Chains A and B, each alone.
Chain A
Amino acid sequence: MGFFSKSFDKLKGALKKTADVLNTDVRTLFVPGRQIDDAWLDEFESKFIRGDIGVKRVEELKGAIREQWRLGKIRNANEAEEIVRKKLLSFFPAEDRELHFVPSGPTVILVAGINGAGKTTSISKLAWLLKNEYQKKVMVCASDTFRAAAVDQLTIWAERIGVEIVKHKMGSDPAAVAYDACEAAKARNIDVLIVDTAGRLHTQDHLMRELTKIRDVVAKRIEGAPQVSMLVLDATSGQNAIAQAQHFTKAININGIFLAKLDGTAKGGVVVAIRDQLGIPIKFMGLGETPQDIETFDPERFITALFGEKEPTAK
């Protein structure tokens, strides 16, 4: 699809920008001919820890390289690159990351996350993608009735993108809004209903229960819904994102992750741990402020872009 190759450039551009600015470009590590030694291993460690991959995983990678090096199986840095790349890729087993739509009736995407993760902006991206690339009839549901002006924010996006919105007054019951949205989506032959929820810290049990309630209401109104329970994660977040994923999974059984704000100086490496430990697929990446700045997650490309200039292997 044209969209994807185009957006891949975007991802690469974003990550390259990051690499340029940060001077953490791993390419200097993997220069052909550069010898592996202790200094190299230290540099490797520091560059990869900065990607928020997690100290344990970096040590694992480092250990693997060191072992091969000690055994004399590799000597050059570019040989190490292959090991790292393979190992990183192995954290992302082949799996289905596509969005699937039910043949009849609305497909529901329930979106959740902590405060400020980027839920509303990510929803605008999803809505744009579904409307323009998938040609779907999209409706958004403003179930964030808590944060000041959250409904207004979603309303503005809905208008700009040109999708329908169901909303109540601020402070009303978010589950009630979801109820109405489900009914409206069925009545108006909507293909995809995206439910926005208020940001909540995963440690606040009562708010997590509220989220479960919203999910239950949706499930009651539309059979098999929500088909997608999506967690929006901030790419700048550190190891705490793992705890977030765990708690949200407990509440609404997360089955997809939207990695937002990947256009910054952060690399979002924590998703490696999340995929590896929790088995939740990463589905999309947010790469900017506008609705078009979205890409489906492809581990090979993610890692390749992370590594530098090499073109991804043909798909």
Chain B
Amino acid sequence: MFDTLTDKLSGVFRSLSGRGRISEENIRESMREVRTALLEADVNLKVVNEFTEHVITKALGQEVIHSLQPGQLMVKIVYDELVNLMGPVDTRIYFVQPGPTVIMMCGLQGSGKTTTCGKLAMMLKGRGMNPMLAAVDLQRPAAVAQLRTLGEQVGVPVYADDSKIGEHGNVPRGAAVAVSRAAIAEAKKTGRDVVILDTAGRLAIDEELMAELRDVNEQAKPHQIYLVLDAMTGQDAVESARRFNEQLELDGLILTKFDSDTRGGALLSAKMVTGKPVKFLGVGEKLDRLEEFRPEGMAQRILGMGDIVGLVSEAMEKFDQEEQAKLQEKMEKGTFTLDDFMSQMTQIKRLGPMSKVIGMIPGMDQLTKQFGQGEGEIEGQMGRMKAIYDSMNRKERANPDSLDGPRRRRIARGAGVDVQEVGQFMKQFEMSRSMMRAVGGMGMLGKLKLMKGLMGGGLAGLGQPGGPMIKTKKSGWQAPKDRNKKKKRR
């Protein structure tokens, strides 16, 4: 499901980039896929609708219609907007002077409050603070014992009052407030600078328990209130977050269980509806697995896009745009030479190991898996092609059609490969040359699409020498005509 979705999304953008002209209708069409992607990622419907409208407006404003590379621009707008929505990033905890700073944790049952309390205590301790944990969850069986154990594990004192514990619905009103206050007093006495209140899990529609939280808020006056939310939450995330925020005025969000394969749309929903920053992410069972939130990468995760943005920007960085345009012109005229072919391969090598490059393309992870020992294979093949090229004389490079049997045999000997491989190499060059003419007008994403299509088709033969994979690279990228020229320019 995940992969097809990824494919679909990037497919729309690719098809957009393949077209000469883009209309408002095309943009709306592409956003429909984005919308589905976001909904599949459990982003709240209302948030999704607002988001897509916003992006459409923005896309029209940025004149995607007149852009030469509309697909790319759309990806960029969607991505930027998502990152925007997740910001502004503020992962600081605000401490008061004099202490102790009181932090209250709240959330639904099973969201991971108690564990997160332990993690937060450990993080603060690591920063040279002296935190204290307070067991304000008086109703879940053994919640107090759990916090005590965590306190021991991280070496942080735990304030608890076992006499206040009761069954669900039988905890006397005021008990939570009393424990909180006593904990704060204890912290003052013992010189602790942070008190973390672990409150009981509750439904946001549970009037009684929400009243308890309000009481703690009003009477123990925590300085920071964090909502702990399960990253796997569905459409309900927005509802819970909104209600907690209405009643308590949250200061931040902590999303847990992000080490799962959830796309994590809950993060975006909760952020949007509360307007409160995401502070931390829980990314593992161990107590040191609490990370400060960074929106980079989160946008791709929610969209299920792979790292296509990273790939595009990396490619942009490493390819000279003007040179590229010149090469494009050249290609359209059909004067793509063997020299261009090879220099292009060098360009691609610059992007890093092939397995990494391929991995950045959505939907390609499966293919990388198929490679098995892929990395070496691809590089090895590129190496052999370089050897073949190096074994040719200048005349032969300039006029590949002149390669007859004896010449091929000589080249094969020189390169240490089979004669057939030389033939394969020439065939690939031939194919890429004709492809280059066709590709001429495409944007980067269009080329990626072509590249991917070719990869998919060509993989079976990949293990064999001279298999059809190399052509993918040529079609995928245009390199500056030659590197000397590039140097001169600089």
Q: How far is the CA of A290 from the CA of B169 in the complex (A)?
A: 9
Task: Identify the closest chain A residue to B46 (Cβ).
Answer: A46
Is residue B11 within 8 Å, beta carbon to beta carbon, of the partner chain?
no
Which one of A78-86, A115-123, A222-230 is at the interface? A115-123
Check B230 against A237 for contact (C-beta < 8 Å). yes
The answer to the question of B134 belonging to the interface, with a C-beta cut-off of 8 Å to chain A, is: no
Tell me how many residues of B have a C-beta within 8 Å of chain A.
54
Of A18, A118, A153, A240, which one neighbours B110 at CB under 8 angstroms? A118
A243 interfacial by beta-carbon distance below 8 Å: yes
The stretch among B261-269, B338-346, B355-363, B411-419 that forms the contact with chain A is B261-269
Nearest CB in chain A to that of B262: its residue: A240
Residue A202 at the chain B interface, CB threshold 8 Å: yes
Size class of the contact patch on chain A = 35 or more
Q: Flag whether B45 is at the interface (Cβ < 8 A).
A: yes
A29 to chain B minimum Cβ distance, whole angstroms, is 15
* Contact for B232 among A148, A238, A265, A289, CB less than 8 A: A238
Instruction: Tell me if B235 and A115 are in contact (CB < 8 A).
Output: no
Contact A116 B230, beta carbon cutoff 8 Å: yes
Q: Give B16-45 as 1s and 0s: 1 = Cβ < 8 Å from A's Cβ atoms.
A: 000000000000000000001001111001
Pairwise interchain contact A52-B236, C-beta atoms closer than 8 A: yes
Contact B146 A147 (CB under 8 A): yes
B40:A239 contact, CB within 8 angstroms: yes
Chain A residues, CB < 8 A from B205: 17-18, 21, 264-265
CB distance B168 to A290 under 8 Å?
yes
Closest B residue by C-beta to A151: B142
In angstroms, Cα B230 to Cα A115, docked, is 10
Asked whether any CB of chain B lies closer than 8 Å to the CB of A75, the reply is no
Q: Is the CB of A118 within 8 A of B109?
A: yes
**Shortest CB–CB separation between residue B152 and chain A, in angstroms?**
9
> Could you tell me if B257 and A115 are in contact, using CB atoms closer than 8 angstroms?
yes
**Chain A residue contacts of B256, Cβ below 8 A:** 116
Compute how far the CA of A155 lies from the CA of B148 in the bound complex, rounded to whole angstroms: 17
The chain B residue sitting closest to A148, CB to CB, is B149
Is A241 an interface position by the 8 A CB rule?
A: yes
Quick check: A148 and B145 within 8 Å, CB to CB? yes
Whether B259 is near chain A, meaning CB under 8 Å from some CB there, is yes
Counting CB contacts under 8 A, is B240 at the interface?
A: yes
Instruction: Tell me if A115 and B234 are in contact (CB < 8 A).
Output: no
Secondary structure class of chain A's binding surface, majority of residues:
loop
Known contacts A115-B257, A156-B142; A52/B149 CB under 8 A: no
Bound complex: CA of A239 vs CA of B263, how far in Å? Answer: 9
Which of the listed residues A46, A121, A238, A240 has the most CB atoms from chain B within 10 Å of its own CB? A238
Contact between A116 and B261, CB atoms less than 8 A apart: no
Interface membership of chain B positions 216-248, coded 1 if the CB is closer than 8 angstroms to chain A and 0 otherwise: 000000000000001011111101100100000
A261 contacts chain B at the CB level, 8 A cutoff:
yes
**Contact flags B101-119 to A (C-beta < 8 A → 1, else 0):** 0000000111110110010
B-facing residues in A163-199 (Cβ within 8 Å): 170
Contacting pair A203 B235 (CB below 8 A): no
A263 at the interface (CB under 8 A from B): yes
B residues lining the A interface (CB < 8 Å): 1, 36, 39-42, 45-46, 108-112, 114-115, 118, 139-143, 145-150, 153, 167-169, 203-205, 230, 232-237, 239-240, 243, 256-257, 259-263, 265-266, 285
Give 10 nearest A-B pairs by CB, closest first: A238-B234, A116-B110, A238-B42, A148-B149, A149-B146, A152-B142, A153-B142, A156-B141, A266-B236, A149-B145
| 22 residue pairs bridging A and B, Cβ less than 8 Å apart | A17-B205, A22-B239, A49-B39, A116-B109, A116-B111, A117-B110, A118-B109, A147-B146, A148-B150, A149-B148, A201-B260, A238-B234, A239-B41, A240-B42, A244-B232, A261-B108, A264-B204, A264-B236, A266-B233, A266-B235, A266-B236, A267-B236
- Interface residues, chain A, CB within 8 Å of chain B? 17-18, 21-22, 46, 49-52, 54-56, 114-118, 121, 146-150, 152-153, 155-157, 160, 170, 201-204, 234, 236-244, 261, 263-267, 269-270, 289-290
